[in-house]
Structure 1
């Protein structure tokens, strides 16, 4: 992998508490990660772990209260709206729900041309680029004149990926981009992400709750639990022989076809959950 494209150091994110004199809610605590050029970092954790908040912080959608986010050597922790608009050429996002992230009243061609127009690309050049994008994500050229509702979930996600690719970004934040798709479509879209990376050298921050998904697509994996990164390393190590009990629980939560193995995994997961509850109880007493 190349030099670090994105670097996050000692990042904290806090939201104001609800109610008079309520304490702020800390969503992220001392996050340290880096993503190289052409690399995928899989960010995995259960709902509420803070993984989506980290992606939002990179995109400027969550408040950075401490630490720094550096992109291509420039601190973007508190970038202005004007700076963010300029950053959008190199930093893009693919959201979880491909339908709600697309304007239902616009034809696909107009959806893909929109970010190009914002950056000052002429209409003729934009039309040519739209054709290239549709080809890149495996959609027919006549898709440009159709509406989002005319496509399946997997096809709409391909449109969302094409829109993210429109400006040839260097990093794409992928926020649960396949979780709303069936397993067969998931595999096809993941393979598309891999092919695009091979062809363009784009980097991904790939957010998911599914350890199997991040194993398939990631070079390295960071595991989040209660707003902290509890384990990170090479994907083959973290997703196959994890060290932290929380990552072990995530691994054991993935189903396997063998009933006996599945029963053993379930028992091991219950044991780890019981140990975690005991630790939480002891921590509460100590506090």
Structure 2
């Protein structure tokens, strides 16, 4: 059992590769020895461009991709090669919220059935599970009658709240948030982010928050890790990394963030172009 000072999750020298395309094609190394940790009640923002390997880290933690080498430790237990039975037990403590709230929900099942499923699978009685569903819907600020409706009857933001409720059903200690607001409009993004922050304050849950957006990561995270081509290139306090980055790649990400001021946007574009040329040369 971890103490308050020990990391809840530790990833050490993690390497993951995928088969190449075509016969005899060499494997493609996606993660090249990644190290990171998350403490209880903490959010680690993991930021990088598409293809950087950030989602693969989350999937490795969840046991959805095989690990070539390195270790993943949760609450002092190695889990990088956990079997099916152990993964089922771990689902009480590690959950996930995916990017697309509609594809992650069964369109033919009511919200109530979707939320009851993990509770019943863990042996909870039906009446108690239904009571738990009412509490979950209240926790994510959805009305009670949501349980009797289908996912298609809701907006994207409401569906993502249902997905969050499902992730919280078993009272996990860690939730992997894989681009949870990137498919939502800006107003809805803000609402969902505020909800996640409130839930963390109420429950003490930890988040591995995966995103390509530094502004979102700044809002959500205590610490930030920046990943580029399968390597962590910068880690530190969220305010520092997202406003005064050291690594050229992090600076490029920061300059890529859109701003309302046209002149400032032009200045950022010129700086980004200059940094890219320096990195290439």
TM bin, normalised by shorter chain, reads over 0.9
Match of 1:209 among 199, 212, 217: 212
Residue 194 of structure 1 corresponds to 197
Q: Is the 8 A contact 1:98 1:153 kept in 2?
A: yes
- Per-residue CA deviations over 1:76-115 (Å, capped at 9, x if unaligned) read 0000011100100000000000000000000100000000
Q: Tell me whether 1:82 sits opposite 2:73 in the alignment.
A: no
Q: Is the 8 A contact 1:171 1:202 kept in 2?
A: yes
Residue 16 of structure 1 corresponds to 19
| Distance in structure 2 (CA, Å) of the matches to 1:170 and 1:154 | 23
| Distance in structure 2 (CA, Å) of the matches to 1:265 and 1:103 | 43
| Distance in structure 1 (CA, Å) of the matches to 2:174 and 2:41 | 9
TM-score (norm 1): 0.95
| Distance in structure 1 (CA, Å) of the matches to 2:39 and 2:276 | 34
When residues 179 and 9 of structure 1 are mapped into structure 2, their CA distance, relative to the original with a 3 A threshold, is: same
Residue 257 of structure 1 corresponds to 260
**What SS class does the counterpart of residue 188 from structure 1 fall into?**
helix
Where structure 2 has 5 or more consecutive residues not aligned to the other structure, the ranges are: none
Count residues in correspondence. 278
| Distance in structure 1 (CA, Å) of the matches to 2:276 and 2:121 | 49
Q: Tell me whether 1:99 sits opposite 2:106 in the alignment.
A: no
Q: Tell me whether 1:244 sits opposite 2:247 in the alignment.
A: yes
| Distance in structure 2 (CA, Å) of the matches to 1:247 and 1:133 | 37
Deviates more, 1:2-11 or 1:174-183: 2-11
Match of 2:225 among 199, 222, 225: 222
Q: Tell me whether 1:71 sits opposite 2:74 in the alignment.
A: yes
Q: Tell me whether 1:164 sits opposite 2:161 in the alignment.
A: no
Residue 35 of structure 1 corresponds to 38
What displacement does 1:17 show? 2.5
Q: Is the 8 A contact 1:94 1:160 kept in 2?
A: yes
Match of 2:156 among 153, 158, 175: 153
| Distance in structure 2 (CA, Å) of the matches to 1:181 and 1:2 | 36
Deviates more, 1:15-24 or 1:201-210: 15-24
| Distance in structure 2 (CA, Å) of the matches to 1:52 and 1:60 | 12
- Per-residue CA deviations over 1:232-270 (Å, capped at 9, x if unaligned) read 100000000000010000000112222222211110001
After TM superposition, list the pairs within 5 Å mapping 1:99-178 onto structure 2.
99-178=102-181
What displacement does 1:27 show? 0.5
- Per-residue CA deviations over 1:200-234 (Å, capped at 9, x if unaligned) read 00000000000000000000000010011100100
What displacement does 1:276 show? 2.2
**What SS class does the counterpart of residue 243 from structure 2 fall into?**
coil
